[in-house]
Amino acid sequence: MSGARRFIANLRSLVFAAIIGALCGCASAIFLVGLDRITAERLRTPYLLYLLPLAGLVIGAIYEKLGESIRGGNDLVIDTIHDDGPEIPLRMAPLVLVGTWLTHLFGGSAGREGTAVQMGASLADFVANRLRRFGASRTALVAAGVAGGFGSVFGTPIAGTIFGLEFVVRGRIEVRAFAPALTAAVAGDMVTLALGVRHTRYPNVGSLALSPVVVAKWIVFGVVVALVSTAFVELTHALKDYGKRRVPSLPLRMFFGGLAVVGLTYVVGTRDYLGLGVPTILRAFDDAALPVDAFAWKLVFTAITVGAGFLGGEVTPLFFVGATLGNLLGRILGLPLDLAAAVGLATMFGCASHTPLALSIMAVELFGAHALPHVMIVSAVAFLCAGHRGIYRAQRVPAEPSLAAPSHDVQEGHDTPR
C-alpha cells in the first residue's frame, strides 16, 4: 500500500473511532445519570433491598429469554477482539444497561466497568460491521469501543486507552490499536463531560520520597494486594461454578444470590457494602477509624452479587476493597493514609484484571503524578505474585510467562490450569 493510501486508511479508522467514542460517551452519560438517580432512590427507600431476590428472578428471566448470545459479557468481548468472532449483538448495550440499573436499585454490590465495556464493544462492533470493517480493522475498532466505554465512564481517557489494549492478553499490549483506542477514549470522555456528567473527585495525594524502607513497605503492600485480589477472584469463580452446577436456572441462582446479600446485610448490621460504595472509598483517604474488616466484607458482598449473575462489573467494588485495604495497611506500615488508599485502589483492580499499566495511569489521572512510582512498584509486585488467575477468564495467557524468555505465542485463558 502506498504512503498516501495508508494515510487515508489510517485517517478513516480514526474518524470511525471518533464516531464510536462519541457513541460510547452518550451511552456512558445516560448510564451514569441514571445510576446516580437510582442510587439516590435506593438510599431514600430502604425496603428496596428486600426486593433484590425478586429483581434477580426478573433480570435472570430476561437474560434467559433475550440474552443467551451475550451471556459471556466481558469474556465475549475479549473473545471477539482476539478471535475476530461473530458480531457482538447490539442488544447487549440496552440489556446490560437496564440490568445494571436494576442491580443497583435493589442493592446489589456491583460496579460499572462491565456495563461500560460491554456497551462500548457492542456499539463499536455494530458500527464496524455496518461499515464493513473486518479482520484487524474490526478488532481495532472493538478495542476502541472498550477504551471509549472505560475511559468515559470513569473520566480517565488515557487509562481507558491502555485498558482497551491491555486486557485481552495478560501482560501484553496490543499496540496496533493504540491510535483508534486513544481517539475513542478521548472523544468519549469529551462527549460525556459535554453532556453534563461530573465524575467523582478524588484527593490529590502528597509526595513521598522513595527509600529502601519505603520500597520494602510497598513490597509487603504488593504481596497483600495479590493475596486479597486472588481471594476475590477465586471466591467469585467458585461461587459462579458452584451455582451453575447446583442451580442450572439463572433466575433461581440470582434469586438465591439476592437472598444471600439481604441476609448478609443483616449479619454485618450496615448497608455500607451495597451498591458502589463511593462514600466509603472517599473515607478511606483520611479516616483512621475506618473498620479494619471493611475490605473483607465488600469483597464477600461483591463476590456473591457477581457470582450469582447480577450485572455491573467489579471495578468500583474492587476500588472499595483496595482503598479500604490500603487504609488499613497504611496504618500498619506507617504510610500516609491518602497515598496508601490511592495505591490500594489502583493496584487491587489492576491485579485482579491483569491490567497493571492501565490502572497505574488511572492513578495519575485520579490522584496526581505523585502516586505513580508507588503504584508502579506495588503493581509490579502484585502482578508477579498473583499468577494467571484473573476476573476475566477469556484473557489469553502468554505461552511462556518467564521474564527471561518472553514468547510471542498465547494460549487460551479458558485452558489455563487453575
- Give per-residue pLDDT as tens, 89-108: 888 889 999 999 999 999 99
What tens digit of pLDDT does each residue of 294-323 get? 999 999 999 999 999 998 888 899 999 999
Residue 391 shares a structural domain with residue 276: yes
CA distance readout (Å), 46 to 32, 49, 262, 265:
21, 6, 12, 12
* Full domain range(s) for residue 386: 212-398
What's the CA gap between 27 and 8, in Å, rounded? 29
Residue 16 shares a structural domain with residue 148: yes
For residue 409, the model assigns a pLDDT of: 46
% of residues, the chain, pLDDT over 70: 91
Residue 35 shares a structural domain with residue 172: yes
Residue 38 shares a structural domain with residue 107: yes
For residue 412, the model assigns a pLDDT of: 46
The b-or-e profile of 361-393 (16+ CB within 10 A means b, else e) is bbbbbbbbebbebbbbbbbbbbbebbbbbbbbb
What's the CA gap between 87 and 133, in Å, rounded? 11
Residue 368 shares a structural domain with residue 299: yes
Residue 126 shares a structural domain with residue 15: yes
Residue 175 shares a structural domain with residue 218: no
We report the CATH number of the domain holding residue 139 as 1.10.3080.10
Residue 189 shares a structural domain with residue 301: no
Last residue of a domain, one of 142, 165, 194: 194
201 part of a folded domain: no
Residue 130 pLDDT grade (very low, low, confident, very high; cuts 50, 70, 90): confident
Q: Identity (one letter) of the amino acid at 212?
A: P
For residue 213, the model assigns a pLDDT of: 97
Q: Please determine, for residue 265, whether its predicted confidence score (pLDDT) is greater than 60.
A: yes
19 part of a folded domain: yes
Residue 152 shares a structural domain with residue 48: yes
Q: Please determine, for residue 55, whether its predicted confidence score (pLDDT) is greater than 60.
A: yes
103 part of a folded domain: yes
Mean pLDDT of 212-225: 97
- Kindly state the cell numbers that stand for 258: 439476592
Backbone angles phi, psi at 388, to 5 degrees: -90, -10
For residue 236, the Cα-to-chain-centroid distance in whole angstroms is 14
What's the CA gap between 310 and 59, in Å, rounded? 8
For residue 329, the model assigns a pLDDT of: 98
The pTM (predicted TM-score) of the whole model is 0.90
Last residue of a domain, one of 135, 159, 194: 194
Q: Please determine, for residue 113, whether its predicted confidence score (pLDDT) is greater than 90.
A: no
What tens digit of pLDDT does each residue of 365-411 get? 999 999 999 999 999 999 999 887 788 877 766 655 444 334 444 44
376 part of a folded domain: yes
For residue 418, the model assigns a pLDDT of: 32
* Domain count across the chain: 2
What tens digit of pLDDT does each residue of 240-260 get? 999 999 999 999 999 999 999
207 part of a folded domain: no
What tens digit of pLDDT does each residue of 12-40 get? 889 999 999 999 999 999 999 999 999 99
323 part of a folded domain: yes
